[in-house]
Amino acid sequence: MAFRFSLASVLRVRESIERREELALQKAEQELARVRRRIDELTGEIAKAIDAREKALQQPIQAHRLQNMDAEISSAAEAKQTLLETLQTLQQQRDAQMKLYQAAYNGRRMLTDLSAQQKTEYELEQDRAQQKRLDDIFASRWQRN
């Protein structure tokens, strides 16, 4: 008779929940990475714009051109600040998702460990039963002789 884990259906549900939470965590991580990349891009753009403005100030420049450069820098800085706030929110969401995933992982792991323990006990019992059968066969042959 093969080993049957009585909570196999519960284990499958727990595995499914764990996979779902892991995918949600991966999605949160990807979103964080996307926002971080965009922040890095904006930081580079701001640095380049400031350098261009500094170079332009060393030569005669029209006021409207200087205002446009300052507006670009301000716009990029505002966008960066918005993204930094978004990043903070996404980190909080990721942390919450990490807790959900850890709970799902622990729930599945507990059942997996229980299944392994029960299977080990089952196999040990099967080995004992097999050994008893062999001992009985040997004893009955011994008595006949």
Domain residue limits, the chain: 8-144
Our CA angle for 137, 138, 144, nearest 5°, is 90
Q: What is the pLDDT of residue 13?
A: 92
pLDDT exceeds cutoff 70 at 134: yes
- At 82-117, the pLDDT tens digits run 999 999 999 999 999 999 999 999 999 999 999 999
**Side-chain-side CA neighbours of residue 69 (13 Å):** 17
Cα distance between residue 58 and residue 52, in whole Å: 10
- 9 falls in which pLDDT band (50, 70, 90)? confident
What's the one-letter identity of residue 54? Answer: E
Decide: residue 18, CB within 10 A, 0-12 exposed, 13-18 middle, 19+ buried: buried
Q: Determine the average pLDDT of the residues in 117-123.
A: 91
pLDDT exceeds cutoff 80 at 145: no
CA distances from 12 to 7, 67, 107 (A): 9, 63, 11
Fold category of 8-144 in CATH: Helix Hairpins (1.10.287)
- At 43-56, the pLDDT tens digits run 999 999 999 999 98
pTM score of the predicted model: 0.74
- 1 falls in which pLDDT band (50, 70, 90)? low
